[in-house]
Amino acid sequence: MTSLETPVGLLIINLGTPDAPDVASVRRYLAQFLSDPRVVDLPRLLWLPILYGIVLNTRPKKSAHAYETIWNHDIGEGPLKTITRLQAEKLAALGLSGKAPVIVDYALRYGAPSIDAQIDALMAKGCARIVLLPLYPQYAASTNASVADAAFAAVKRLRRQPALRIGAPYYDDPAYIEALAARITRDLAALDFEPEVIIASFHGLPQAQIDRGDPYRAHCEETWRLLRARLGMEEEKLRLSFQSRFGPAKWIGPYTSEVVEELATSGVKRLAIVAPGFSADCLETIEELGVQIRDLFLQKGGEKFARLSCLNDSEEGMALVATLAKRELSGWI
């Protein structure tokens, strides 16, 4: 077997989830997540005392309760882990191998299975070339760059290092826009009401990170523009917003909660919400949008509300992941 016929590893990557919906597990998860300088890029001497002295003593209990409401108790996983695992399994079943076999697996940036453990596992199976495919459509240093940091740290300790490729963001990729449009169209058709407005809610980011050059907001706005064009919707029909603010600093807006309240108090009675920046449903989509934002809309006068699913491991979602995987594997198989 030549070097070009040895196995190629393909690792799809998402953010992560605690090991269990209890306070101790959530505290460990949040400690790893919120201590990442890519996520909170404040000076360590300022941030770490706040993190360990206040945040990790107050937030885990509330977050654990939220995770408990969405947990897949039958298999002991959070939904993001379940979906990411299924995406990897379905991708492997598609048969991506060419001259070189492809070994598909998944990793989580925070929690288990970790990026370094999965790189080790792929190398143990003979993979001298590994593709990392972060399922983050819009680039942010706190997501995409953090994956690169973890991967480079994993191989830095190795004497024999694999060749690495890291997939590019795909915020404006026609395959991504088409997958979103097809899934949204299908889900809207299944509703028992027609929404007056649809909100495209993306995860927020501190404004300071944008000011320092992060392209995330511009990527979200371009996805929104392309999706509106593909669906034939005006700005008033498909609204843009950002969710999941944390802390007192200014985050990019408009904030999802404020948009929803504004719509409800202005007389909108039927609302749907979709999260195009999330490749798998998770706490932020199921509980934050599906429960907290729903309740806010109904309390402020709304009558009909629907949270549309992420692409997940749906037919549309898997077609997209397969397209991205084949592109990044090109030349290696």
Q: Which residues are annotated as a binding site for Fe(2+)?
A: 203, 284
Burial degree of 138 (CB within 10 A; 0-12, 13-18, 19+): buried
Answer for the pair 134, 55: CB distance below 8 angstroms, yes or no.
no
Binding residue ranges: 203, 284
CA-nearest of 121, 173, 171, 153 to 10 is 121
Residue with tokens 């392309």: 226
Provide the b/e sequence for 70-100 (b: ≥16 CB within 10 Å): bbeeeeebbbbbbbbbbbbebbbeeebeeeb
How far is Cα 196 from Cα 302, in angstroms, rounded to an integer? 11
Nearest alpha carbon to residue 160 among 107, 199, 123, 191: 123
Question: Which one-letter DSSP state was computed for residue 39?
Answer: T
Radius of gyration of the chain (CA): 20
d(CA 276, CA 267): 25
Beta strands in 111-162 (DSSP E): 129-134
Around Cβ 211, how many Cβ atoms within 10 Å?
Answer: 9
For residue 26, the one-letter residue type is: V
